[in-house]
Amino acid sequence: MRKWNFCAGPAVISEEVISEVRAELLDYKNSGTSIMEMSHRSETYSNIAYEAKEDLIKLLHIPKNYDVLFLQGGATHQFSMIPMNFKNLTGTADYITTGAWTKKAFIEGSKIMDLKNIYSSEDNNFTSAPNIEDLKISENASYVHYCPNETIHGNAIHEIPNINKPLIADMSSSILSKPIDVKNFSLIYAGAQKNIGPAGLTLVIIDKDFMLTGNEALPNILKYSEHAKSDSMLNTPPTFPWYVAGKVFKWMQKMGGLDYFKKQNELKAYKLYEFIDNSHFYSNPVEINNRSIMNIPFILSDSKLESTFLSSSEENGLLNLKGHRSVGGMRASIYNAMPLEGVEELIKFMDYFEKKYG
């Protein structure tokens, strides 16, 4: 029996999508093989790959001057590959640090080029984030890197900044959660395992002109331009996650597209924050304007009750509520595929637990 899964990633995928995958698993549309055993160069697979890309372009309204890449390596690979590609522009870039992932991106990127950390909320445990347009951006920055949704700290920058430098965003835990204006970004990257599908796939959406400023001296596998030239098939792509991602995109379109998910996600988050804020037992430390709608960390007034909370929530069919090991407490990740009903069940359980132990 499937339970409510609040994992931060790999995360819940719609049951409808998984059922379709199951139906096609052994023999994909009378091809005689499963998707996992099929050449990525075959006509059948090429059609799957092409359709997934086209569906994503439609969902996000990606303009024609952008390339969309389906790569391996995760977001971690991306925040290393980005400075390698764009190091030659001015030799420096600005980073905004609002949580564990942007901190890591800065540390890794600094091994490759001279980066400037123009904002950090580490002093307050990443419970706040800036309005990027108010920051002083270095004149010689090749690009500005930030993360609109810090998965571990539940710290978000909701407004898309409008700046006159190439803007790069790690959207691993927020992509497809609401409509965005892609043209504000030079590069967007996102690991698939939260709002897109199974782990192993990473999406990159990149402005073609920006891409062409990339370092030509790199090995091909590290060059965005080479991945784009070969339609993300420079080497064997993550065929199965790409196929599942295609199904997720179709499911999202059927549900009502990004406008629908924005409304649903805001409603789910509103209900959970409202419950937490009205309780004396639970609290969320993030500044109200920066609260994530995807990952909601919360602590109990008595931390000794944490393990009881976790075992009891599991017994009640609510999985993976433990906060990240670096911050402790609890965290509910409520991505697109988590229905409102799952959040209501969580709130019901939290209320019961508070009444029993609070």
Binding residues for ligand PLP, rule: CB under 6 A, are 9, 74-76, 101, 147, 151, 170, 172-173, 191
Q: Minimal CA–CA distance to 350: which of 332, 338, 333, 335? A: 332
Of the candidates 94, 170, 242, 322, the residue annotated as catalytic is: 170
User: What is the closest distance, in whole angstroms, from the C-beta atom of residue 278 to ligand PLP in the complex?
Assistant: 29
Of the candidates 101, 178, 223, 262, the residue annotated as catalytic is: 101
Query: Residue 169 and residue 188: Cα distance in Å, rounded?
Result: 5
24 Rama sector, left if φ>0, alpha if ψ -120 to 50, beta otherwise = alpha
Query: Residue 251 and residue 107: Cα distance in Å, rounded?
Result: 37
Q: Evaluate whether 98 touches 157 at the Cβ level (below 8 Å).
A: yes
For ligand PLP, the closer of residues 196 and 300 by Cβ is: 196
User: What is the closest distance, in whole angstroms, from the C-beta atom of residue 170 to ligand PLP in the complex?
Assistant: 5
**Local structure of residue 95 (DSSP, 8 states):** E
Query: Residue 109 and residue 335: Cα distance in Å, rounded?
Result: 28
Is 194 annotated as catalytic?
Answer: yes
User: What is the closest distance, in whole angstroms, from the C-beta atom of residue 92 to ligand PLP in the complex?
Assistant: 22
Q: Minimal CA–CA distance to 279: which of 194, 357, 350? A: 350
For ligand PLP, the closer of residues 103 and 354 by Cβ is: 103
Is 101 annotated as catalytic?
Answer: yes
Query: Residue 127 and residue 61: Cα distance in Å, rounded?
Result: 32
Q: Which helix (H) or strand (E) holds 76?
A: helix 74-86
For ligand PLP, the closer of residues 9 and 166 by Cβ is: 9
**Local structure of residue 137 (DSSP, 8 states):** -
Q: Minimal CA–CA distance to 72: which of 62, 59, 81, 63? A: 81
Strands (E), 134-223: 144-146, 149-150, 155-156, 167-170, 187-191, 202-207
User: What is the closest distance, in whole angstroms, from the C-beta atom of residue 226 to ligand PLP in the complex?
Assistant: 21
User: What is the closest distance, in whole angstroms, from the C-beta atom of residue 331 to ligand PLP in the complex?
Assistant: 12
For ligand PLP, the closer of residues 9 and 342 by Cβ is: 9
User: What is the closest distance, in whole angstroms, from the C-beta atom of residue 199 to ligand PLP in the complex?
Assistant: 7
Of the candidates 53, 87, 178, 194, the residue annotated as catalytic is: 194
Length of the chain counted residue by residue: 358
Is 4 annotated as catalytic?
Answer: no
As a whole number of angstroms, the longest Cα–Cα distance in the chain is 63
End-to-end CA distance of the chain: 31
For ligand PLP, the closer of residues 59 and 100 by Cβ is: 100
For ligand PLP, the closer of residues 129 and 147 by Cβ is: 147
Looking up tokens 């339609």 gives 231
Query: Residue 202 and residue 257: Cα distance in Å, rounded?
Result: 21
For ligand PLP, the closer of residues 5 and 151 by Cβ is: 151
User: What is the closest distance, in whole angstroms, from the C-beta atom of residue 252 to ligand PLP in the complex?
Assistant: 20
What residues are labeled active site?
101, 170, 194
